[in-house]
Structure 1
Amino acid sequence: MTTVSVAVPRKGRPLEAVLDRLADETGVAGLADDVISTLRYEKAVTKGDQSATGDVYERLATYSDDADPHAPEYTLVRDARQGMPRRIVFDSVAVPVDDDLTLRLVGREEPFRALRKHEMPLGFDSADLFLEEVVELREEPLAELGDVNERVDPRDTDVRLVAGLGDTVWHSLLATPEVAGEQEADLTREFVDDYEGELCISPRYERLVEGVLGTEATEGVDFCYPDDGQSEEAAIAETGIGVYLTVSGSTARDHGLEVGEQLFPSETVLLRSEPEVTDAVERVADLLVTAETGTRLVTQ
């Protein structure tokens, strides 16, 4: 029996996307629902939106099933919220693929970095982190996932992006009607080319925004950031123009902002450490990335 380990986030939307994909391809819908509902409950407890039965250690023991080798396992991490020193998160689960192959999901705080250190051959993480960490900045903008690998310096990392899972939200250009109307142009990258002044972004996305706009477009632009406790949409409305994540754009419009070009997709992506690739690893990658998810960016 061969086991292939796959690094995944310990909580949140990316982990749910992976579990949903696994359920679609292996039929473990009950397992996926169990993990997702457990983690959503624990998140609600941590935020104070749900009353818990028993303390965190009692709940952790309740979730464990030592008699079932394929039952999900959980662990505790420190939570920064005052009065909530521990939070239950996903640890691992083994899923049989066929008679001679098992896929094991392993929770990591930073799945991409686990692959960079050759701890595992495959992993799921946010495309945003991959861009922030290793993608080369150039004058021309980066607009599609399919262009990402070409901008990775092989001397920096041997991890490559395989494909996205399609749980897409967008880094979008946002502006107030006053700023958007200053130029006789649509609210696109070309608009930013002619714009000079402050552009509001989340500080964790500075390198990503520079990459998806292109270094030429960001000449003459000064990045600024929301104040502590201020939402990105509110800060962009004060500044007049910015870039942030949107789904429908309704929250941005609630702040009086116009939604411009969708600059780059933010989604969960499958990553592969090239030196660790084996036939079994390829089988698992093929299982997790189907034609329905879009173009496969690395091939055998």
Structure 2
Amino acid sequence: MTAPVRVAVPRKGRPLEAVLDRAAAFADATAVADDVAATLRYEKAVAKGEQTDDRGVYERLAAYSDPDDPRAPDYTLLRDARPGKPRRIVFDSLSVDVDGTPVELIGREEPFRALRTHEFALGFDSADLVLEEVVGLRPEPLTSIADVNDRIDPVDTDVRVVSGLGDTVYHTLLATPAATAAVDAQDLDRDFLAAYEGPVCISPRYERLVEAVLGTDVTEGLSFTYPGDDHDEEEGAIADAGVGVYLTVTGSTARDHGLSVGERLFPSETVLMENQHEADGSDVAAVRRALTADPAETAIPPQ
């Protein structure tokens, strides 16, 4: 029997759902993928206190498991970061066939790092983590996922981005009308930031990402600030600072805080990655091709 190709995937959240959707499209596994997504959404609601369940967490974990079915999904427990540190049920593994090749989707807290340490040949994670960890900073901005591989120093890692999954939200430039009016710029875009000097509110985990996206020439005149505990929403902290960069979908919450929604600076997207050192063999290549959305258009040439 052919050994399965092991693929590292996130344990929860939007990136995992994007991976399940992609795998289901090639593995005829729509029902099980939908079941996993629904189970994890329910467990997230329980962990957040939005749902209640009379069963204990171990009872629910046992109910989700089917040890007699090797194709059934497996789950595991993690400590959630919320107050009280509740145990949260998250994804562990799922076996599927992708275009005739057996594949094991293996949950990892940090799939990108699992690829960097050569545990896997293939994996999915947020492009944001690649920018935060290995993308080099240059004077010019980084504007697309297609340019990410060119910014990776081969000495740092053997991992390269293959393609995106299209579950895109954007790191977007936001500003108050007062901050916009103080700068002689036509639009709320990169030219505005080049002319602006002052605080820019961002999530602390995205400082290096924002530097890469804006370019070091632009960030020289900026001072990064971070949301404090006195704001329930980051848009409120950006409104206090005057200017900020934040992940947005529609921008409606930003507008509710009196912010103008400017340029979409960079896409935040789940990406398929490959550790080129571990990617020997036709099975890995076949899975890589199958999981790429449209090899003719969206695959990123390896560096």
Name the TM-score, length of structure 2 as normaliser: 0.95
Q: Is the CA contact 2:23–2:98 (under 8 Å) kept in the aligned structure 1? A: no
Show the counterpart of 2:57: 56
What is the DSSP-based 3-state SS (H/G/I as helix, E as strand, rest coil) of the residue aligned with 2:4?
A: strand
Matched, 1:97 2:94: no
- Tell me the equivalent position of 1:279: 282
Structure 1 Cα separation of the partners of residues 131 and 296 of structure 2: 20
Task: Report the equivalent of 1:142.
Answer: 142
Deviates most, 281-290 or 147-156: 281-290
Instruction: State the partner residue of 1:161.
Output: 161
Gap runs ≥5 in structure 1: none
CA distance in 2 between partners of 1:58 and 1:238 (Å): 46
1:174 aligns with 2:174: yes
CA apart distance, 1:51 = 1.1
The residue that corresponds to 1:256 in the other structure is 258
Give aligned pairs, total. Answer: 299
In the alignment, the residues of structure 1 paired with residue 296 and residue 252 of structure 2 have an alpha-carbon distance, to the nearest angstrom, of: 26
- Shift in alpha-carbon separation, 1:161–1:176, aligned structure 2, 3 A: same
SS of 2:223 mapped into structure 1:
strand
Contact 2:164-2:293 within 8 A present in 1 as well: no
How far is the alpha carbon of 1:82 from its aligned partner? 3.1
CA RMSD of aligned residues (A): 1.5
Q: Following TM superposition, by how much is the alpha carbon of 1:291 offset from its aligned partner in structure 2, in angstroms?
A: 1.3
Structure 2 match to 1:205:
206
Per-residue deviation, 1:274: 0.3
Letter of the aligned partner of 2:64 in structure 1? Y
Q: 1:6 to 1:222 in 2, by over 3 A?
A: same
Moved more, 287-296 or 88-97: 287-296
Are 1:163 and 1:289, in contact at CA under 8 Å, matched by a contact in 2? yes
**Could you list the per-position Cα deviations for residues 24-54 of structure 1 after superposition, in whole angstroms to 9, with x for gaps in the alignment?**
2222110111100110111111111111131
Shift of 1:137: 0.2
Name the counterpart of 2:301: 298
In structure 1, C-alpha distance between the alignment counterparts of 2:20 and 2:200, rounded to whole Å: 36
* 1:164–1:293 Cα contact (<8 Å) kept: no
Does the CA contact (< 8 Å) of 2:99 and 2:287 recur in 1?
no
For the residue of structure 2 that corresponds to 1:49, the secondary structure is: coil
Q: In the alignment, is the contact (CA less than 8 A) between 2:227 and 2:234 conserved in 1? A: yes
Q: Give the secondary-structure state (helix, strand or coil) at the position aligned to 1:81.
A: coil
Which runs of 5 or more structure 2 residues have no equivalent in the other structure?
A: none
- Contact 2:26 2:99 (C-alpha < 8 Å) held by counterparts: no
Residue aligned with 2:71, SS? coil
**Alpha-carbon distance in 1 for matches of 2:30, 2:199:** 47
SS at match of 1:217: helix
Larger deviation, residues 128-137 vs 178-187: 178-187
* TM superposition shift of 1:229: 4.9
State the Cα deviation string for residues 86-139 of structure 1 (Å, max 9, x = none): 11100001102355x201100000000000010011110001011000000000
| SS of residue in 2 equivalent to 1:53 | coil
The answer as to 2:16 corresponding to 1:15 is yes
Identity %: 63
Partner of 1:127: 127
**C-alpha displacement at 1:271, in angstroms?**
0.7
- Offset at residue 299 of structure 1 (A): 5.2
CA distance in 1, matches of 2:146, 2:90: 32
Match of 1:71 in 2: 72
Residue aligning to 1:234: 236
Post-superposition Cα deviations, 1:182-228, rounded to whole Å, max 9, x if no partner, equal 23321111111111111111111100001100000011211011112
